Amino acid sequence: MYLPDVKLARMPADNPVSRIQTIAVTSGKGGVGKTNIATNLALALSRSGRTTMLLDADLSMANVDVLLGLHANANLMDVLACKCDLEEIIIEGPDGLLIIPAASGNKVLTELGALECGGIVHAFSELKQHIDTLVIDTATGVSEIVTSFCRASNHVLVIAKNEPASIRDCVAQIKLLNNRNAIAHFHVLANMVHTARDGLDLYSKILELLGDDHIAAISYAGFVPYDNSLHKAVKSHKAVIDAYPESKSALAINALARRAARWPRPGFPHGQLEFFVERILQQNNVETEVLS
């Protein structure tokens, strides 16, 4: 695919603005809006001038490309099989958003051997594009690969909606990621709520259920209201911020993007996205071997 020649000046590594912002979007329960939030958030960040990449890491059921009405001809597995380069599988979405489609219906990343993992690291190291922000749409729950993506990211954005099962699973996911995986900070986003008050109530319930003994720092990332426009946008294979830019969900997601852009970025210097991938693979206790 054609990669736009974005000429970003290389900034010194100790300049916080020169760091890649990595945001994992996850949830304890499925169907709460991860893919829609991740996609629209990435698009809003891309539109604001950041070179943004959206990684569809829901390896069991890829759908970022479907949501945006794009067609992925190849995926990470094809890169590993040396059928194509990483550059060739990147799809350019609206507003220059770069999308890495998932390897859906295929072997999952956790099952890969050391050589294949090394191949992924190598592929990222070959990527010429300088990425400013990486947004990851993870699968649901606490599988090894979900926890790996969350641990490797600077920020974990947990999506919950106001129903008992979603609240319960959100609390369970945060506890597990915190206790067993040492993730210390979570942003909680209330999705599909009716009012700002409902969003805050949902957040309070989550804090209450987490109790005093949890050591994670939790912050409220705000809310995205229930909005038929978002639903209509999905049906027409468009992101809501594109299809209905003045809708209440689009305005809320744009506000979320403005806040997320200010989140600290302790991560990786520009051009070193492969370190992020390496970290994921190491956390999966896979002995990585970088091919050269």
Ligand X SMILES: Nc1ncnc2c1ncn2[C@@H]1O[C@H](COP(=O)(O)OP(=O)(O)OP(=O)(O)O)[C@@H](O)[C@H]1O
Interface with Mg ion (CB under 5 A): 34-35
Tell me the C-alpha to C-alpha distance, in Å, between residue 243 and each of 4, 92, 238, 266. Answer: 24, 18, 6, 34
User: Residue for token digits 């169907």?
Assistant: 31
- Residue among 12, 106, 14, 1 nearest 53 (CA): 1
Report in angstroms how near the CB of residue 36 gets to ligand X at its nearest.
Answer: 3
Quick check: 36 binds ligand X (CB under 6 A)? yes
DSSP state of 94: G
Question: What is the closest distance, in whole angstroms, from the C-beta atom of residue 10 to ligand X in the complex?
Answer: 35
173 binds ligand X (CB under 6 A): no
Q: Which of 35, 51, 147, 166 binds ligand X (CB under 6 A)?
A: 35
- Lookup: tokens for 182: 């040492």
**Smallest separation (angstroms) from ligand X to the CB of 196:** 14
Which C-beta is closer to ligand X: that of 58 or that of 78?
Answer: 58
Q: Which of 57, 62, 64, 192 binds ligand X (CB under 6 A)?
A: 192
Q: From 169-177, 211-219, 225-233, 255-263, give the range in contact with ligand X by CB under 6 A.
A: 225-233
Amino acid letter at 118? G
| Contact between 43 and ligand X per CB under 6 A | no
Residues 6+ apart with CB under 8 A from 253: 37, 40, 41, 44, 224, 240, 241
Say whether residue 203 binds ligand X (CB under 6 A).
no
Answer for which of 116, 132, 227, 242 binds ligand X (CB under 6 A) is 227
CB of 137 closer than 8 Å to CB of 277: no
Q: Whole-number minimum distance, CB 49 to Mg ion, in Å? A: 26
Residue 204 or residue 228: which is nearer to ligand X going by CB?
Answer: 228
Among 234, 260, 280, 281, binds ligand X (CB under 6 A): 234
Closer residue to Mg ion in complex, CB, 35/178: 35
Q: 10 or 197, CB closer to ligand X?
A: 197
- In 3D, which of 240, 258, 239 has the Cα closest to residue 249? 240
Q: Does 166 bind ligand X (CB under 6 A)?
A: no
CA atoms within 13 A on the CB side of 50: 27
Sequence-distant (≥ 6) Cβ neighbours of residue 66 within 8 angstroms: 237
**Pick from ligand X, Mg ion, none: which does 78 bind, CB < 5 to 8 A by kind?**
none
For position 242 contacting ligand X by CB under 6 A, the verdict is no
Q: Could you give the CA distance from residue 24 to residue 19 in angstroms, rounded to a whole number?
A: 16
Give the CA angle between residues 260, 263, 266 to the nearest 5°: 135
Would you say 10 or 194 has its CB closer to ligand X? 194
Q: Which is nearer to ligand X, 16 or 30 (CB)?
A: 30
Q: Compute CA distances 189 → 157, 167, 193, 203, whole Å.
A: 7, 12, 10, 8
Alpha-helix runs per DSSP H in 90-163:
114-125, 144-152
Map tokens 């067993």 to a residue.
180
Residue 113: contacted member of ligand X, Mg ion, none (CB under 5 to 8 Å, by partner type): none
C-beta closer to ligand X: residue 31 or 105: 31
Residues at the contact surface with ligand X, assessed by CB under 6 A: 27, 30-36, 58, 140, 191-192, 224, 226-227, 230-231, 234, 249
